[in-house]
Structure 1
């Protein structure tokens, strides 16, 4: 089985006794670009957090490349190939950009940091700045670059463009496109901006009340605005 294959079966999870993600089944082949869309509060973020081991697992299985990880810690899941960029970014505010990047190496050579700078030249310009001195968009770049330094086979991105200036969105979108085009990484994107989500992805899942209510090629839902209006909201493509 190629590295970067994710299989989820009968997954139920949430916080404490509260179940938010219900009976989720999905198969994401290695190298695929998958977008998860839906209205706010429908379980998209919880699903990514569950894949990373940050919620309460109630039942079901999660496999990476055929190996079960649903009982593994977040650290073990990262070692198995998961990279995660949460909506909150979670950069170390009192460390420099470069120190933040070093923390993401996970045993890989420090020379790999130059690859991050090639992808995000803005970070190289600010490599001596502290985390709190960066704009929201720059923090998003840093969080993404740090996750990539761990060389994940599967990258989970939770609303990476939310609230960012258009020029930063363009830089990040270009970087994600470059990663996807390489075919060496499976990318799962949660994105509120439906137009961006459909343009990026090969396949799309729609979530409603913690369940997957539609799945298929992005081109199909892009051509059927009635599906978007039903599950996401009127005029979500604009």
Structure 2
């Protein structure tokens, strides 16, 4: 299936009575790559959780390939092709790697699981291990692979590199780039490793206190040292 375009219009959402994101609007073209940046606590995870249907929406729309999914359940959004890899990974710790992957197949044939092993050979080596026996990096690979097996046309990746060794980060970013260039997925990425995010993305938005404070091309942000320091809390990028 080809990648799907996404539009967020004046989206406000949060938890209980508390608003975390306010009047956020952006569009992501089909097959493109968007990085969502910002310091901790600025609403990045809440934005992704809202798109996945896991927060309280106060207003605005989420348009998935021309269809308004704002009021649909998380399950319905997933069936339409929205894949979400949360920061918490959320694998099944008492199931094996292979059993975790079977969950992601939905109605696809079981031999499609080979796609996950092609992308992450390390998972094939660990296929009989329980989820609880995996390292953090392997759990991230498993969570990502399980989502991808469902053939999403839009994929949300929330801080996939958090706490991982550099060699694992590199392996994951190679896999994400391969997916992005396949033309079958639109990818939105939240990441604290700013340079990795800028190298990956075609467009960037930066959140501050639940609103978009900057929007543009990665190169423009990387060259705007004052904005990088003000919004991201780092003095420069390398």
User: Do they fold alike, i.e. is TM over 0.5?
Assistant: yes
When residues 138 and 3 of structure 1 are mapped into structure 2, their CA distance, relative to the original with a 3 A threshold, is closer
The answer to whether the 8 A contact 2:45-2:158 is kept is: yes
What's the CA shift string for 1:157-176, capped at 9, x where partnerless? 00000000111111101101
The answer to whether the 8 A contact 1:193-1:236 is kept is: no
Q: Distance in 2 between matches of 1:106 and 1:59?
A: 31
When residues 148 and 236 of structure 1 are mapped into structure 2, their CA distance, relative to the original with a 3 A threshold, is farther
1:235 Cα offset (Å): 2.7
Spell out structure 1 runs of 4+ moving beyond 4 A.
Answer: none
What pairs with 1:4-43 in structure 2 (closer than 5 Å)? 4-43=4-43
Q: Name structure 2 gaps, 5 residues minimum.
A: none
Q: Which residue is equivalent to 1:155?
A: 155
How many pairs were matched up? 237
1:3 Cα offset (Å): 4.3
Q: Distance in 2 between matches of 1:37 and 1:20?
A: 15
What's the CA shift string for 1:210-232, capped at 9, x where partnerless? 00111111111112222211110
What's the CA shift string for 1:97-156, capped at 9, x where partnerless? 000000001111211110110000000000000000000000000000000001000000
Q: Which residue is equivalent to 1:116?
A: 116
Q: Name structure 1 gaps, 5 residues minimum.
A: none
Give the TM-score normalised by the residue count of structure 1: 0.97
Q: SS at the partner of 2:235?
A: coil
The answer to whether the 8 A contact 1:194-1:236 is kept is: no
Q: Which residue is equivalent to 2:213?
A: 213
Q: Distance in 2 between matches of 1:129 and 1:217?
A: 42
Q: Which residue is equivalent to 2:75?
A: 75
Greater CA deviation, 29-38 or 220-229? 220-229
Give the TM-score normalised by the residue count of structure 2: 0.97
What is the RMSD computed on CA atoms of the aligned residues?
Answer: 1.0
Q: Which residue is equivalent to 1:180?
A: 180
